[in-house]
Structure 1
Amino acid sequence: MIIVCGEALFDVFCDGDAPGGYALAAKVGGSPFNVAIGLARLGARPLYFGGLSADMFGRKLAATLAEEGVDLSCAPRPAAPTALVTVDLDAGGVPAYTLYGTATAERAVALADVDRVPVEAAAIHVGSYCMAVEPVASALRALVTRQQGRSLIAFDPNVRLTIQPDRNAWTGAVAWMLPRTDLLKISDEDLRTLYPDMTPRAFLDLAIQSGVALAIVTRGGDGVLAATATLAPFDLPAVEVAVVDTVGAGDTFQAALLAYLARHGLLNRATLAGMEVRTLRAALDFAARAAAITCSRRGADMPRLAEVDPQH
């Protein structure tokens, strides 16, 4: 059982000009929302812990998660609207995000809601801007504190300064999480945003010294850099793919890595810390291949297990 914590929202894309404005396409999204669906499509058993509104957007988010096989039994249903985020893609397909609304359902998760989450969870994934806005950030910290040592704690900062512009809120979240995280995944873009003077290898050293069992930096076309408590940083080349856009690529990588670890009985701190390089490379390769499939199509269209591992 893997619990995915954080935001579900609607991504709004421009489909071109229309008389007097733009033609828009609204798509279900949010980094943790994507991770939950990615896990379900890859054969894992995810539960979603995030605020879901009763408005038309929230009902669609809940229905989509349920249809994909995500358990919603511990998801709070606050009386607040769904967050809407515009996605503006540049010429290379790289997205920029702008949030509309702040008193929204994903932020309204409270400390009392933590009791909804099963104590016996195998893993807890937290991340994205719900770790940097209140009151949800305090609720997720309380959950991490409760589950540390009971569940594997996975963290992906997924920094969005257009949504939470206070850089200190992000660096504070990372600093708080590092000694409590077993599996850390961060992009090189996030590193440049938060720590412009720190190299990926230096950050991996910091993460491992802080107590992280497995730390990973994803670098797009430059591949993946990873390290554990017993393995020095090493590179994994990128999977070649014709990129349509990169929306959801990082979420796919995280979901695929967690799903692979769960499927192979590797989803615990001690195993990650002592993993042999061949085993770790196989897990990272699976995650990279899954992310490449997402990059080959528009939006966060996460792959299914048969697409990533046809022989499964």
Structure 2
Amino acid sequence: MNPRQITVLGECVADAFPEPASASNELALRVLPGGGPANTAVSLARLGSPTRLLTRLSDDVFGRLFRAHLESSGVDLSDAVRAAEPSTLAVAELDATGQAAFSFHAQNTADWQWTADELERVDLSETACLHTGSLTLVREPGGAVVEEFLAAAAPRTTISIDPNVRPHLVHPDVYRARLARWCGLADVLRLSEDDLELLLPQASPERACDLWHAAGARLVVITRGADGALASLDGERLRVPAPATRVVDTVGAGDSFTAGLLHHLGARGLLGGRLTELRLDDVADACAFAARVAALTCSAAGPNPPWRDQLTQSAAVGTA
């Protein structure tokens, strides 16, 4: 039987959202478990994909929150590393449209301390797709170790990468310097239009897709918020509209889109290699499904992706 598991590698971040406090000299924070890769893993598991998260979990109060959240969503943590370092904290400020700007407290935290020994023990024989990205690929000392792990895995599993640029923590030049190497490893590259602007200022989405195809990525998807998504498969392009939704905030929407895309491809047996059987119609269907998953995520507070039955219910409502 073909491998069906999707393995996600990356960080867990405590997302803190300011709330009204009881006194003018106080600040109240509501903390939710987040982090781009962790959000993607949760979304995949809730959709029904067998999902494993390779992460370094602290035993502090946030680490215990992450573990409970991930396990209750069905994520396999059997290969998670118990880390001595503290968890990463991000404080979010939402604008009037629900877009979040994060400030990170990430110095010497657990997420970036990967060693070669920790990843050498990981068995990928049942993994159809290995997904990673975000700060895990650019924060040292672990970033170089993760790249080596991807390079070793690439000949036998589909590789998916989401750069998820965080310019206040890591300068975009660091991402730019590594992006061509990532495209050489990646079969799927999913990023937002904000990432595009930071990585290739002034470049059109179509021009960016052509550059990243030339560097090696077969499928490039650029998500554009309310304007939907642009997908490019070896230069063949299509646009997918975003479903109408009531936006509470957009936290985790891109991560959920990635999860919806990979779940849909995996459920149809299209993951597990270099995507040689993938066709543009497959991409259109997968992106339409992913857009629905992202829209439902936007309708809830924080990184709270939908469960599979919620997708079924929303589809029934849409056709009623």
The bucket for the TM-score relative to the shorter chain is over 0.9
Q: In the TM superposition, what are the counterparts of 1:213-224 in structure 2 within 5 Å?
A: 213-224=218-229
Q: Is the 2:180–2:215 Cα contact (8 Å) retained in structure 1? A: no
The reply to whether residue 85 of structure 1 matches residue 85 of structure 2 is: no
The reply to whether residue 307 of structure 1 matches residue 310 of structure 2 is: yes
* CA distance in structure 2 between the aligned counterparts of 1:277 and 1:16, rounded to whole angstroms: 48
* CA distance in structure 2 between the aligned counterparts of 1:117 and 1:68, rounded to whole angstroms: 22
Q: In the TM superposition, what are the counterparts of 1:39-78 in structure 2 within 5 Å?
A: 39-78=44-83
The reply to whether residue 25 of structure 1 matches residue 34 of structure 2 is: no
Query: How many residues align structurally?
Result: 309
Q: How big is each residue's C-alpha offset from its partner over 1:148-202, in whole Å with a ceiling of 9 and x where there is no partner?
A: 11110000001111222x2221112322201110011011110111211211111
Aligned partner (choices 263, 266, 270) of residue 266 of structure 1: 270
Find the counterpart in structure 2 of residue 107 from structure 1. 112
Q: How big is each residue's C-alpha offset from its partner over 1:16-35, in whole Å with a ceiling of 9 and x where there is no partner?
A: 24322211111111011101
Shift of 1:273: 4.7
* CA distance in structure 1 between the aligned counterparts of 2:241 and 2:276, rounded to whole angstroms: 22
Q: In the TM superposition, what are the counterparts of 1:282-301 in structure 2 within 5 Å?
A: 282-301=285-304
Shift of 1:212: 1.1
The reply to whether residue 203 of structure 1 matches residue 208 of structure 2 is: yes
Find the counterpart in structure 2 of residue 130 from structure 1. 136
Q: How big is each residue's C-alpha offset from its partner over 1:241-298, in whole Å with a ceiling of 9 and x where there is no partner?
A: 121110000000001111111111111444x355333222111100000100011111
Helix, strand or coil: the match of 2:83? Answer: coil
* CA distance in structure 1 between the aligned counterparts of 2:273 and 2:287, rounded to whole angstroms: 16
Q: Is the 2:252–2:303 Cα contact (8 Å) retained in structure 1? A: yes
Helix, strand or coil: the match of 1:87? Answer: strand
Aligned residue identity for 1:21? E
Aligned partner (choices 254, 258, 282) of residue 254 of structure 1: 258
* CA distance in structure 2 between the aligned counterparts of 1:102 and 1:113, rounded to whole angstroms: 21
Is there any run of 5+ residues in structure 1 with no aligned partner, and where? none
Q: How big is each residue's C-alpha offset from its partner over 1:199-258, in whole Å with a ceiling of 9 and x where there is no partner?
A: 1111111111222121111111111111112x5222111211121110000000001111
Find the counterpart in structure 1 of residue 8 from structure 2. 4
Helix, strand or coil: the match of 2:82? Answer: coil
Helix, strand or coil: the match of 1:25? Answer: strand
* CA distance in structure 2 between the aligned counterparts of 1:58 and 1:238, rounded to whole angstroms: 34
Q: Is the 2:233–2:280 Cα contact (8 Å) retained in structure 1? A: no
Q: How big is each residue's C-alpha offset from its partner over 1:112-134, in whole Å with a ceiling of 9 and x where there is no partner?
A: 11123213121110101111111
Bigger drift between 301-310 and 246-255 goes to 301-310
* CA distance in structure 2 between the aligned counterparts of 1:200 and 1:291, rounded to whole angstroms: 20
The reply to whether residue 153 of structure 1 matches residue 159 of structure 2 is: yes
Q: Is the 2:219–2:233 Cα contact (8 Å) retained in structure 1? A: yes
Percent of pairs identical after alignment?
Answer: 36
Following superposition, which runs of at least 4 residues in structure 1 exceed 4 angstroms of deviation?
Answer: none
Helix, strand or coil: the match of 2:53? Answer: strand
Could you tell me the TM-score, scaled by structure 2's length? 0.93
Aligned residue identity for 1:294? T
Aligned residue identity for 2:185? R
Helix, strand or coil: the match of 1:71? Answer: coil
* CA distance in structure 2 between the aligned counterparts of 1:269 and 1:204, rounded to whole angstroms: 21
Helix, strand or coil: the match of 2:81? Answer: coil
Is there any run of 5+ residues in structure 2 with no aligned partner, and where? none
Aligned residue identity for 2:216? G
Bigger drift between 13-22 and 3-12 goes to 13-22
